[in-house]
Amino acid sequence: MKIISSEIQAKEVLKNYTDIVLVPTMGNLHDGHISLVNKAKEIGKTIVSSIFINPLQFGVNEDFDSYPRTLENDLIQLESAGSHFVFHPSKEILEGIKNRKAPPLSKKMCGKTRPEHFDGVVTIVGKLFEVIKPQFAVFGLKDYQQFLIIKNLASLSDFETEIIGSDIVRENDGLAMSSRNNLLTSDNRLLAPEIYKRLCWIKENISNKSNEILIKDSIDFFKKKGLVPEYLKICDPDTLEDLNHFSGRALIAIAIKLGAVRLIDNILLD
């Protein structure tokens, strides 16, 4: 596995490859990230993983400074998983970067409380696509809104990159794997599986209860347990518009705070 540390080096090393699959990450890797590499290996021959903690997608008072940095272990995991290259640029990658605006879809769900987050995401992902020129890029479906926004970026720009979604990977107790799980207190870690359990409850009852009741009862359920929902949505998987009733396709999506830690999760009914 070769480590690439600059834009110039990346363009030189990768210029003759026509079968690149990009796996963008911010490091602090877990099995969920490794599943993205495994997915990439099913799609193409040359796997390029990236590690860059992007300050553009962190808002004021968010956890950029405390975001875990575990580069040595990350590199070991990526090599073991079969990544051929790791692009690990310095913050110089941001110099002269083309600032991009996320589509209106970004104003829903997570975008309501993180108004500049997705602008930062599409700006750095656009830069990665410019530098690496992948034929495919793999994104986890835990951040389903981000997945839709990146698909929009690829379709409306000159990038010849197909965006592939990879299924959520969960802990044994159902909690969606996330780098932020490590920031949970021991008590909140015990509470965290209630998120996925409740999403499953909504899935099981979506055909016989109104969406309004499902959401209201679930928010009350979380509040009684000391979890603070930022949003809980039953929405169209393509537009993220709220659904009044279930007709076969839906995204059940949540953002919730356990103490100071914000977690997201979803179930896709398709």
Are residue 141 and residue 41 in the same domain, yes or no? yes
* Residues 212 and 131 reside in one and the same domain: no
Average pLDDT over residues 83-96: 96
Give 262's DSSP letter: E
Taken as a whole, the chain contains a residue count of: 270
In 3D space, the residue among 121, 224, 194 whose CA is nearest the CA of residue 163 turns out to be 121
Assess whether 156 and 38 both reside in one domain.
yes
Strand ranges in 152-199 using DSSP code E only, listed in sequence order: 162-166
- Which of these three, 135, 166, 197, is where a domain ends? 166
Among 141, 166, 191, where does a domain finish?
Answer: 166
**What is the reported pTM?**
0.94
Own/partner pairs, 95-104, CB within 8 angstroms, 24+ separation: 97/123, 97/124, 97/127, 98/123, 98/126, 98/127, 98/130, 99/123, 100/126, 100/153, 102/149, 102/152, 102/153, 103/149, 103/152, 103/156
Query: Which range among 43-52, 83-92, 154-163, 220-229 shows the weakest confidence by mean pLDDT?
Result: 154-163
pLDDT digits (tens, 9 = 90+) for 103-147: 999 999 999 999 889 999 999 999 999 999 999 999 999 999 999
Q: Is residue 148 part of a domain?
A: yes
Q: For position 227, which CATH number holds? A: 3.30.1300.10
Q: Are residues 241 and 126 in the same domain?
A: no
Q: Which residues are catalytic?
A: 33
Domain range for 35 is 2-166
Instruction: Tell me if residue 46 falls in helix, strand or coil.
Output: strand
Q: Are residues 26 and 67 in the same domain?
A: yes
85 phi and psi, to 5 degrees?
-135, 150
Is residue 213, in this structure, part of any structural domain at all? Answer: yes
User: Rounded CA gap, 205 and 244, in Å?
Assistant: 14
Q: Are residues 224 and 112 in the same domain?
A: no
**Number of compact structural domains in the chain:** 2
Q: Report the percentage of the chain scoring pLDDT > 70.
A: 100
CA 161 to chain centre: 18
Q: What is the pLDDT of residue 62?
A: 79
Residue at which a domain ends, from 144, 166, 188: 166
Q: What confidence score (pLDDT) does residue 105 get?
A: 94
270 in a structural domain: no
Q: In this structure, what CATH number is given to the domain that contains residue 104?
A: 3.40.50.620
